Structure 1
Amino acid sequence: MLEAGVKAPEFSLQDKDGNIVSLKDFLGKKVVVYFYPKDSTPGCTRQACSFRNNYGEYKKMGIEVIGISKDSVKSHANFAAKQELPFILLADPERQAIEAYDVWQEKKLYGKVSMGVVRTTYIVDEKGMIEKAYPNANPDTNAEEILAYLKG
């Protein structure tokens, strides 16, 4: 898990339309980067819809929201269309950003141990530094919790 005060690892990944999006594209503005396990699963859908419902507030503050999972570009396109997601979704099937941000970890579910994406959200500041980290983010309250922090 990356800590506040460290440089956010650079990434360049495809969005739901196949365009390359890089973290450096957002230098000069704050970015919320959230990592989630899988498109169209219950928790991930609730989290994405919460960011969607609060997206206007983020935009008013000049903050972009980026969701990253190891799903494909096509999966992201379907997920975004079905849930009407207005923010950026990036496909990371090779786990480039997922591993750089240390969110590919051992998980336990019903006693079964496996590797997977641990739901984590980072606020990256205008200079590309991690301002705040939210490990094991709650999909139901994450978007509002971050907004409350950003509003002070």
Structure 2
Amino acid sequence: MSSRRVAPAPARFVERFGSALTAAGMPRLPARVFACLLADDDGAMTAAELGEVLEVSPASVSGAVRYLQQVRMIHRERQPGTRRDLYVVADDAWHDAVISAGQVYQPLRAVLAEGVDVVGGKRTTAGRRLALSAEFLDFLTEEFEGVARRWEKRRAELTG
């Protein structure tokens, strides 16, 4: 295991950004892991390295990285020449996470649409509420697709 030490300034950033993500609704340890990977120069660390830097157990890291993988903020790779997993944050992790949110909404939208009939259709107050909720999720999905296209164009301009 390598012995990673984080300098005070990045350590402060990891804690501050992790706290900001937690305040925005992300679980605390996944927020800290994400902040740690963002601040790491190569954006890749093993669970043991993350545990050491964040002063938490490898088991805690396991749950945090599972969460971050589910929301597509990081991905797992095999560390070359070993059997250890390496957790990697993409340079454009926010893009992947936001765009994948549209996919998360599809099962919710489907259940809401089914619920319209269950509560008596759109002629009921509950049915109208459920239908409106489903339409909103459709709207969000379409907007995310537009945002993705606009971001890709802007990113190309920024990276020239």
Q: TM-score range by the shorter chain?
A: under 0.3
Query: Which structure carries more strand by proportion?
Result: 1
Bigger relative contact order (CA 8 A; separation at least 6): 1
Q: Greater helix share, 1 or 2?
A: 2
User: Between Structure 1 and Structure 2, whose CA radius of gyration is higher?
Assistant: 2
Task: Output the TM-score relative to the length of structure 1.
Answer: 0.26
TM-score by length of 2: 0.25
